């Protein structure tokens, strides 16, 4: 039997529709299960036994799944089909929908964690203060008011032009201290992509043997300077603009502190009023 675990809320509410597009080959016994209905993953895995499992959704679905997955099932074969609106993980491993589901299990191991306000969560792609957190917050507000899809590009441009206020950030990376003014983004990156297609850290390898992350500080006083550089980030062409972007590579432990509480996004999931996050990797 084949189980397809989908998120009905992903891809602007088209989660089940996307899941039903997955090619099931010669499989005749297929059951679709909405992740929202799964309250106990121990019970769920006991129910499905050795059946094949495909997880269908976006980055938020991945994040929620891995944080609910019991440790004893980390080694189990689980497949993934990209069905979100951003799909940063899929972009990072160069997975397209037409490729069909890919084995997710190798990417689940050795994930970094982020701790804030007494909460600790694993993350697939990134954990970040800044403009991306602002965009996620505004996107959530839009969804509460309207059924129309969220246009994150429009939100980002609005923030860049006048609405988002950059601030001071203090970063501790493996014991070394760094301070930045006028910070627009300060992500900890496990993959290369952020925000539905921005290649923020083209040098980052999520499968690196040390399981480390790359820290980024996008900082500059001039909105115009940030605005002109912004399009380059989508292709990773912003590397080398040292007056705007600074990277800290191969980081095992980091503390990132904003000057005042703000929004943080973790794989596209929003958390409000956060001032400090701590990132730990599985690096020995």
Tell me what pLDDT residue 25 has.
86
CB 149 within 8 Å of CB 14: no
Supply the range of the domain harboring residue 190: 113-280
Mean pLDDT to the nearest integer, 82-88: 91
Residue 199's φ and ψ, nearest 5 degrees, are -85, 75
For 55-84, the pLDDT digits (tens) are 999 999 999 999 999 999 999 999 999 998
**265 and 127 within one domain:** yes
Tell me what pLDDT residue 284 has.
54
**154 and 64 within one domain:** no
**119 and 236 within one domain:** yes
DSSP 86-113: S-HHHHHTT--GGG--EE-HHHHTT--E
**268 and 211 within one domain:** yes
Q: Are strands 52-57 and 79-82 parallel, antiparallel or unpaired?
A: parallel
Quote the percentage of the chain above a pLDDT of 70: 99
Tell me what pLDDT residue 13 has.
86
Mean pLDDT to the nearest integer, 101-116: 96
Q: Which of 108, 126, 160 is the last residue of a domain?
A: 108
Q: Which residue has the tokens 């969220």?
A: 150
Burial class (CB in 10 A: 0-12, 13-18, 19+), 232: middle
Q: Which of 108, 131, 163 is the last residue of a domain?
A: 108
How far apart, in Å, do the first and last CA atoms of the chain sit?
A: 39
- For position 234, which CATH number holds? 2.60.200.40
For 245-260, the pLDDT digits (tens) are 999 999 999 999 999 9
Nearest CA-CA partner of 37 in 1, 8, 17: 8
**76 and 135 within one domain:** no
**241 and 136 within one domain:** yes
Angle at 208 between CA 207 and CA 209, to 5 degrees: 110
Tell me what pLDDT residue 256 has.
98
Least confident of 149-163, 165-179, 235-249: 149-163
Q: Are strands 253-266 and 245-251 parallel, antiparallel or unpaired?
A: unpaired
Mean pLDDT to the nearest integer, 21-42: 94
**149 and 73 within one domain:** no
**120 and 239 within one domain:** yes
**175 and 36 within one domain:** no
Angle at 133 between CA 80 and CA 165, to 5 degrees: 160
Residues 2 and 27: their CA atoms lie apart, in Å, by 7
Tell me what pLDDT residue 283 has.
63
**241 and 140 within one domain:** yes
DSSP 147-178: SSPP-HHHHHHHIIIII---EEEEEEETTEEE
Number of domains in the chain: 2
Tell me what pLDDT residue 102 has.
97
**117 and 104 within one domain:** no
Residue 184 pLDDT level (bands cut at 50, 70, 90) = very high
Tokens of 86: 């951003």
C-beta atoms surrounding 171 within 10 Å: 22
Q: Which of 56, 77, 108 is the last residue of a domain?
A: 108
Tell me what pLDDT residue 250 has.
97
Angle at 83 between CA 80 and CA 85, to 5 degrees: 135
Least confident of 116-125, 141-150, 189-198, 262-271: 141-150
Nearest CA-CA partner of 195 in 279, 268, 90: 268
Mean pLDDT to the nearest integer, 208-222: 97
């Amino acid at each position: 039997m084949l189980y397809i675990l989908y998120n009905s809320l992903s891809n602007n509410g088209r989660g089940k529709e996307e899941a039903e597009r997955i090619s099931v080959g010669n499989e005749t016994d297929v059951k679709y299960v909405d992740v929202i209905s799964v309250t106990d993953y121990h019970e769920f895995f006991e129910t499905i036994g050795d059946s094949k499992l495909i997880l269908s959704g976006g980055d938020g679905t991945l994040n929620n799944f891995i944080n609910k997955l019991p440790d004893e099932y980390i080694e189990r074969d689980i497949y993934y089909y990209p069905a979100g609106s951003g799909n940063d993980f899929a972009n990072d491993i160069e997975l397209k929908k037409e490729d069909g589901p890919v084995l997710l299990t190798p990417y689940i191991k050795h994930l970094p964690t982020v701790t804030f306000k007494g909460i600790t969560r694993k993350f697939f792609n990134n954990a970040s203060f800044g403009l991306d957190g602002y965009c996620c917050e505004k996107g959530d507000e839009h969804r509460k008011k309207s059924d129309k899809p969220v246009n994150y590009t429009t939100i980002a441009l609005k923030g860049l032009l006048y609405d988002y206020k950059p601030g001071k950030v203090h970063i501790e990376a493996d014991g070394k201290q760094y301070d930045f003014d006028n910070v627009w983004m300060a992500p900890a990156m496990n993959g290369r992509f952020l925000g539905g297609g921005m290649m923020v850290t083209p040098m980052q390898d999520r499968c690196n043997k040390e399981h480390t992350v790359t820290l980024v500080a996008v900082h500059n006083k001039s909105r115009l300077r940030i605005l002109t550089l912004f399009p380059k980030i989508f292709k990773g062409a912003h590397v080398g603009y040292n007056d705007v972007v600074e990277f800290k590579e191969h980081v095992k432990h980091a503390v990132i502190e904003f000057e005042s509480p703000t929004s943080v996004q973790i794989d596209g999931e929003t958390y409000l009023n956060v001032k400090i996050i701590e990132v730990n990797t599985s690096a020995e």
